[in-house]
Amino acid sequence: MGNDFVDKSRILLVEDEETLGLGLEFNLTEEGYEVIWAKNGKEAAQFIRSAEFDLIILDIMVPYLDGFEIAKIARREYPRIPILILSARAGVKDRIRGLELGADDYLTKPFHLQELLLRVAGMLKRKAWYKDTADQNPVFKFGRNEIDFRDFSCVADRRQFQLTFHEAMVLKYLIDHRNTIVSRKDLLENVWNTSSEIETRTIDNFIMRLRKYFEPDPAQPVYIKSVRSVGYIFSTSEDE
């Protein structure tokens, strides 16, 4: 299976199930990736702090530190790194919690190997897109807000904080397509690379959070506006 984004991309696999871990390690290596396999949360944290990776495949239920804790550590060390969560739990709350911690995608066990390989390739492709677009236009200012898309740092009305990876990607996509209606389907396909796994209300939750960060009055948005039954449009007074 050819992949322009492999180029010996280094993947951290965090999985305590021996049979599944061996299978994933073998097949990912066959695809041309370099795979480092951590069998528990402590090992994963040590690898994250001592080496650089292009992507993390992360089982939620691993010993010592669970996947949610590992995701937090990974986001602190590498704000841009894509994270694919694996879980035997299919609950919506777990998916949303993972996304809010900055995970990029979520696969429920059991899954098809081909689907995982396609998602890994898509995530590396989106990482390359984000790096290119963030490096070309790293800082964006509107109103009393300023965002640095290289490290997700923000200043909003003199408050300093940091976006999660997905919050930054949603905002970057809206800004790159400003003055154009962006549908929820557009965001699902281009930010999450999916059309069904993540519910549309998850998109709405991300938009609500961005409004709380950047709108003078989130209930009456002036930058990220809703287009009824269609999606959203980003615009500023400078665009008018």
Q: How many helices (H) and strands (E) does the chain have?
A: 8, 12
pLDDT of 132: 75
Query: What is the b/e burial string over 192-220, where b = at least 16 CB atoms within 10 angstroms of the residue's CB?
Result: bbeeeebeeebbeebbebbbebbbeeeee
pLDDT digits (tens, 9 = 90+) for 26-68: 999 999 999 999 999 999 999 999 999 999 999 988 999 988 8
pLDDT of 231: 93
pLDDT of 13: 98
Alpha carbon distance 196, 189 (integer Å): 9
Alpha carbon distance 74, 200 (integer Å): 26
Record the pTM.
0.72
Phi, then psi, of 154 in degrees rounded to 5? -135, 150
CB atoms within 10 A of CB 60: 22
* Stretch 5-17: mean pLDDT: 85
Strand partners, 225: 233
- The region of weakest confidence among 33-42, 84-93, 116-125, 191-200 is 191-200
